[in-house]
């Protein structure tokens, strides 16, 4: 059971996108343990159902929904079902996102001869891959906000929480599209916080540092489980010298959703990074 740090979400309906994944699945479980009725949204219906089942088996309330965050029609259909089955949305966690190998370079630095070589340089980035990454991360956050925030207008204690990344502060090598898309999420969080400031909706974001997930594990570890050179560089640049553990995001999640503790906080992007953003390397 996760610690809820005194945050009581009883009576609230929380919608979590990308909830079939490791981190957002944990968010869904944590919100349910804090008393919320949770709508578990994911394009992978089986993964969403697995998370929802684990929540209900623990005695809490959750319902799985297949949803495509890039299709307004899909979101509208799911919204109608959630409104009917659970009630109006009070909390929206925009966790759907990800990267694509088509939008990555093979090397950290461009070197003479890379254009002719059998390597994917900046000049070889696939346009459709870059568009997919930007759409999934940015539009995949904007569209759910358009659909579910309508439930929040004029109601007290409603929040939107976006999932940014430390890439938004300092872009990592090899993943320009993902870094740029997460920077857009941070900027959008600030914009939306101002836009909704008089409607009673707080909008914030969490910026995780380095956590091992299904999306990045192949970049961090070889098939035999040994760390890649990228992992060694990450840990050398993280003062706490380790990856974060999923549950260590729960405090930030519950704090920002707690209207007693964070009622005057909106438009912030909170790093949870083991000191990565504070370290100059010297």
The answer to whether residue 178 is catalytic is yes
User: Does an H or E element contain 49, and which?
Assistant: helix 45-57
CA R_g for the chain: 19
Question: Residue 267 to residues 35, 50, 183, 206: CA-CA distances in angstroms?
Answer: 25, 33, 14, 11
Ramachandran area for residue 18 (φ above 0: left; ψ -120 to 50: alpha; else beta): left
Instruction: Quote the distance between the C-alpha of residue 138 and its chain's center.
Output: 11
Q: Which residues pair with 64 in a beta bridge?
A: 40
Question: 76, 147 in Cβ contact below 8 A?
Answer: yes
User: Residue 203: helix, strand or coil by DSSP?
Assistant: strand
Phi, psi dihedral angles at 37 (to 5 degrees): -90, 120
- Residue of 41, 3, 20 whose CA lies nearest to 249: 3
Contact 264, 200 (CB under 8 A): no
- The residue behind tokens 């569209």 is 143
Strands of 158-163's sheet, edge to edge?
A: 62-66, 37-42, 13-17, 91-94, 158-163, 201-208, 269-272
Q: Which residues are catalytic?
A: 178
């Amino acid at each position: 059971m996760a610690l809820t740090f005194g945050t009581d979400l009883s009576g609230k309906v929380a919608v979590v996108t990308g909830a079939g994944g490791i981190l957002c699945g944990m968010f869904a479980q944590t919100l349910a343990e804090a008393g919320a009725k949770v709508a578990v949204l994911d394009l992978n219906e089986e993964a969403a159902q697995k998370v929802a089942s684990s929540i209900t088996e623990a005695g809490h309330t959750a319902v799985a929904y297949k949803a495509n965050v890039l299709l307004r029609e899909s979101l509208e259909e799911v919204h109608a079902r959630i409104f009917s089955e659970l009630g109006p949305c009070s909390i929206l966690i925009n966790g759907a996102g990800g990267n694509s190998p088509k939008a990555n370079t093979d090397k950290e630095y461009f070197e003479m001869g890379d254009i002719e070589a059998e390597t994917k340089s900046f000049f070889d980035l696939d346009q459709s891959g870059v568009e997919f990454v930007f759409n999934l991360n940015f539009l995949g956050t904007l569209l759910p906000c358009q659909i579910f925030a309508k439930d929040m207008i004029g109601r007290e204690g409603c929040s939107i929480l976006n999932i940014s990344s430390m890439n938004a502060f300092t872009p990592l090598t090899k993943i320009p599209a993902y870094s740029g898309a997460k920077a857009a999420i941070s900027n959008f969080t600030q914009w939306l916080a101002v836009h909704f400031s008089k409607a009673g909706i707080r909008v914030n974001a969490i910026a995780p540092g380095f956590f091992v997930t299904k999306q990045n594990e192949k970049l961090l570890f070889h098939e035999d489980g040994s760390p890649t050179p990228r992992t060694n560089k990450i840990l050398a640049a993280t003062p706490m010298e380790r990856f974060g553990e999923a549950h260590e995001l729960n405090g930030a999640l519950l704090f920002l959703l707690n209207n007693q503790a964070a009622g005057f906080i909106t438009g912030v992007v909170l790093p949870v990074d083991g000191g990565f953003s504070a370290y100059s390397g010297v």
